[in-house]
Amino acid sequence: MSDQATQPAMVLPDHGGVLAQLARRAEAILLPLGALLVGFAVFSLFLLLQGKSPVEFFALVYKAGFGTAFSWNNTLSRTAPLLFAALCVALPARLGLVVIGGEGAIVLGGVATGAMGVALAGAPAALALPVMLVAAAVTGAVWIGAVGALRHYRGVNETIASLLMAYIAIALMNHLVEGPLRDPASLNKPSTAPLVETLRVGDIPGWDVHWGLALGLVCCVLAAILIDRTSWGFAARIAGGNVRAAQIQGLPVGWLIIGFTALGGAFAGFAGFFEVAAVHGSANASLATGYGYTGILIAFLARHNPLAIIPVAILLAGFEASSGLVQRRMDLSDATTLVLQGFVFIAILISDTFYGRFKVFAPEKWSRT
Amino acid sequence: MTDLGLWAIPIAVLGGAIRVSTPFLFVSLGEVLTERSGRINLGLEGTLVFGAMSGYALAYITGSPWIGVVAAAVAGALFGLIHGLICSLPRVNDIAIGIAMMILGMGLAFYFGKAYVQPVAPDLPSINFGWWSDVPQIQAALRVNVLFLIGVVLAFVMWWMFRATKIGLTLRVVGDSTDAARAMGLRPAVIRTLATTAGGAFAGVGGAYLSLFYPGSWNEGISSGQGLMAVALVIFARWNPIACFGAALLFGGAGALGPSLQSAGISEGYYLFYAAPYVLTLGVLIATSSPRQAMTGAPGELSITK
């Protein structure tokens, strides 16, 4: 996938004005925004055909997702796992890899957190919490890093492999929480033993949002620095454009692939950590709620730019936060969110075909009119 | 039931292989058709689920399971057509479109399928090949559905089509080299779109089998990655329809392993056996892929093997 945001580095002398710079950057923002609106429009049409009011739908989403301080807290709490899940797609995408199995790393990261939390129940939080966080990150890194390794050493398609491994991860989680790690007291919903109160992650002071949001934002910034400001990020971009050329240049393509997929997996593992340590309190089937799949859409909407992931994740978290109210008030099924995501996803992918087609974004073509 | 001891497991796996393999067979035949034309449709999982829902709904409304199958085929073709048309646009990523179509297909199926979770639709008929035996387990294992037989015939017909007919050769030329196809005066984008449409129809029929025969009801958990596994199975079968049939039986057997062990009273590690088909798929992918050379039998224009 070509990266439009990096183009301004080669500004031509004739068209280096501020306006021209702005025009080039505008394309990378306005085209996805336009696609988002087209996706919403198609979804509105779908609602109209069902005899439902799109105006009411979006008004409810605004009210329940962004209208009050309470709804903002709700939205931001759901943003944290989405930031991590989207990074798990965006980082490998720098190398041209489409990894869609982040859900597996989230689930197993959560199980690792729960198991580690039980083992360290008596330890001080200052020691136990970092160990739990690292355990979740390592589990996620190994899981998605394995996808990268299979890709590099065996040529296994990473898209199919990662999704298969997500199914395997969920089966593994079911096996562990129903068997070896099961808390005998959890009758209806098999779970690991609940974390002791000292090992629960709390809220950011003054907010009703857990610390996962803060770490998620930091990780997005760090990922942006890694990609745009370091030689590793630069090497990854070259390898993503042309593997053969990168190998001839002597770049360690294998390590880049494994490193970027493993880092993405580690981020997804963080999401599992916070779902267990801050939200559910123990590892169980609630870990597999589809954050990993929403993360795919977010990464594509953000054009795999870690900083753009932040606003997009907040937007989609708002839709998820409002889905309960929308279902009740408008008598819509819970699958409505999935339908909306499908339409937006297709619109954003179609927009790929329009890059470079509009003269207004290409200053070098302005004079030729 | 006659007590067969541990013998019950291989019999149940055999019966399961025949029963579980049909959706794999149809989806993989559809995907062979699409991939031989040089395009990959990863969205067949969504098509399978939507086919299951629409087939079940129409069978319930009309009372005829066969109308359900036709409806599922039409719905699948529509999904394939949309996928094909979008991928004909320049610079659109066919793998990513597949993921998006998967999400949309499942979303629409769950949305419209809510009303059909409760009602009972008529089942597809099956033929009893186990009449010679008194053992109920063997009789159950050899109750073969008509769609399975149709699928087997289709596999051989498709194999012959690729070898000996003008349509088959046209598809192969388009799949192996866009430039060569253009030089012959063919229109690759149109042919690929048609191949994707037909492939979608196959996947839709596979879905109808799920909801109208085995497991034989519609719910949101009806498919757990069968559509995706079938795509991987095509790579394993080296784009050969007859090999797809063998691979589908193998995968069906793996899928039947968990339930058969459970029915024989072995419940230890049940969830791990449930993962067997995914592990098998991944193992097969690892064994048959290669980092260096293009895979034998792979269409030259296919994005995942280039």
Residue contact A171–B271, C-beta within 8 A:
yes
Chain A partners within 8 Å of B107 (Cβ): 335-342
| Terminal-residue alpha carbon distance, chain B | 53
Highest mean pLDDT among A135-139, A187-191, B260-264, B290-294: A135-139
Local structure of A230: helix, strand or coil: coil
Chain B partners within 8 Å of A160 (Cβ): 42, 228, 231-232, 285
How far is residue B274's CA from residue B280's CA, in Å, rounded to a whole number?
Answer: 11
At residue B1, does pLDDT exceed 70? no
Q: How close B280 gets to chain A, by Cα (Å)?
A: 10
How far is residue A333's CA from residue A353's CA, in Å, rounded to a whole number?
Answer: 33
CB B192 within 8 A of CB B84: yes
Among the partner residues A98, A155, A342, nearest to B291 by beta-carbon distance = A155
- Mapping DSSP onto H, E and C, the string for chain A reads CCCHHHHHHHCCHHHCCHHHHHHHHHHHHHHHHHHHHHHHHHHHHHHHHCCCCHHHHHHHHHHHHHHCHHHHHHHHHHHHHHHHHHHHHHHHHCCCCCCCCHHHHHHHHHHHHHHHHHHCCCCCHHHHHHHHHHHHHHHHHHHHHHHHHHHHHHCCCHHHHHHHHHHHHHHHHHHHHHCCCCCCCCCCCCECCCCCHHHCCCECCCCCCECHHHHHHHHHHHHHHHHHHCHHHHHHHHHHHCHHHHHHCCCCHHHHHHHHHHHHHHHHHHHHHHHHHHHHCCCEHHHCCCHHHHHHHHHHHCCCCHHHHHHHHHHHHHHHHHHHHHHHHHCCCCCHHHHHHHHHHHHHHHHHHHCCCCHHHCHHHHHHC
Q: How close A200 gets to chain B, by Cα (Å)?
A: 29
Q: Which residue of chain B comes nearest to A346, CA vs CA?
A: B100
Query: What is the band of B127 on the pLDDT scale with cuts at 50, 70, 90?
Result: confident
Please report the number of interchain residue pairs, chain A to chain B, with beta-carbon separation below 8 angstroms. 139
Q: Is B99 at the interface with chain A, CB within 8 A?
A: yes
| Residue type (1 letter), B264 | A
Among the partner residues B105, B107, B286, nearest to A156 by beta-carbon distance = B286
CB A212 within 8 A of CB A269: no
The reported pTM is 0.91
Residue contact B229–A164, C-beta within 8 A:
yes
Q: What is the ipTM of this complex?
A: 0.93
Residue contact B108–A346, C-beta within 8 A:
no
From the number of C-beta atoms within 10 Å of its C-beta (0-12, 13-18, 19+), residue A367 rates as exposed
Q: Is B291 at the interface with chain A, CB within 8 A?
A: yes
Local structure of B185: helix, strand or coil: coil
Residue contact B42–A160, C-beta within 8 A:
yes
Q: To which residue do tokens 């990609």 refer?
A: A227
- How far from the centroid of its chain's Cα atoms is residue A23's Cα? 28
The residues, ordered by sequence, that sit 6+ positions from B261 with a Cβ below 8 Å of its Cβ are B9, B267, B270, B273
Q: What pLDDT does A5 receive?
A: 45
Residue contact B231–A160, C-beta within 8 A:
yes
Q: How close B282 gets to chain A, by Cα (Å)?
A: 6
Q: Which residue of chain B comes nearest to A351, CA vs CA?
A: B92
How far is residue A252's CA from residue A47's CA, in Å, rounded to a whole number?
Answer: 50
How far is residue A301's CA from residue A345's CA, in Å, rounded to a whole number?
Answer: 8
Query: What is the band of B282 on the pLDDT scale with cuts at 50, 70, 90?
Result: very high
Residue contact A172–B275, C-beta within 8 A:
yes
Q: Which residue of chain B comes nearest to A294, CA vs CA?
A: B103
Residue B157 CB neighbour total at 10 angstroms: 12
Q: What pLDDT does B305 receive?
A: 60
Q: Is B232 at the interface with chain A, CB within 8 A?
A: yes
Q: Which residue of chain A comes nearest to B291, CA vs CA?
A: A155
At residue A11, does pLDDT exceed 80? no
Chain B partners within 8 Å of A150 (Cβ): 286
Q: Is B269 at the interface with chain A, CB within 8 A?
A: yes
Residue contact A339–B108, C-beta within 8 A:
yes
pLDDT tens for each residue of A283-316: 999 999 889 999 999 999 999 999 999 999 999 9
∠ CA A30-A76-A312 to the nearest 5 degrees?
A: 15
From the number of C-beta atoms within 10 Å of its C-beta (0-12, 13-18, 19+), residue B35 rates as buried
pLDDT tens for each residue of B39-90: 999 999 999 999 999 999 999 999 999 999 999 999 999 999 999 999 999 9
How far is residue B302's CA from residue A103's CA, in Å, rounded to a whole number?
Answer: 27
Chain B partners within 8 Å of A319 (Cβ): none
Chain B partners within 8 Å of A257 (Cβ): none
* Interface probe with B: pick from A103, A151, A156, most Cβ of B within 10 Å: A156
From the number of C-beta atoms within 10 Å of its C-beta (0-12, 13-18, 19+), residue B166 rates as exposed
pLDDT tens for each residue of B147-182: 999 999 999 999 999 999 999 999 999 999 999 999
∠ CA A340-A38-B103 to the nearest 5 degrees?
A: 30
Q: What is the mean pLDDT of chain A?
A: 91
CB A292 within 8 A of CB A169: no
At residue A171, does pLDDT exceed 70? yes
CB A270 within 8 A of CB A140: yes
* Interface probe with A: pick from B88, B101, B282, most Cβ of A within 10 Å: B282
Q: How close A331 gets to chain B, by Cα (Å)?
A: 12
pLDDT tens for each residue of B240-251: 999 999 999 988
CB A195 within 8 A of CB A136: no
| Residue type (1 letter), A139 | T
∠ CA B6-B8-B14 to the nearest 5 degrees?
A: 125
Local structure of A143: helix, strand or coil: helix
pLDDT tens for each residue of A75-117: 999 999 999 999 999 999 999 999 999 999 999 999 999 999 9
Chain A partners within 8 Å of B289 (Cβ): 154-157
How far is residue A207's CA from residue A204's CA, in Å, rounded to a whole number?
Answer: 5
Q: What is the mean pLDDT of residues A16-32?
A: 84
CB A101 within 8 A of CB A265: no
Q: Is B286 at the interface with chain A, CB within 8 A?
A: yes
What is the DSSP secondary structure assignment for residue A284, as one 8-state letter?
B
Q: Is B166 at the interface with chain A, CB within 8 A?
A: no
Query: What is the band of A14 on the pLDDT scale with cuts at 50, 70, 90?
Result: low
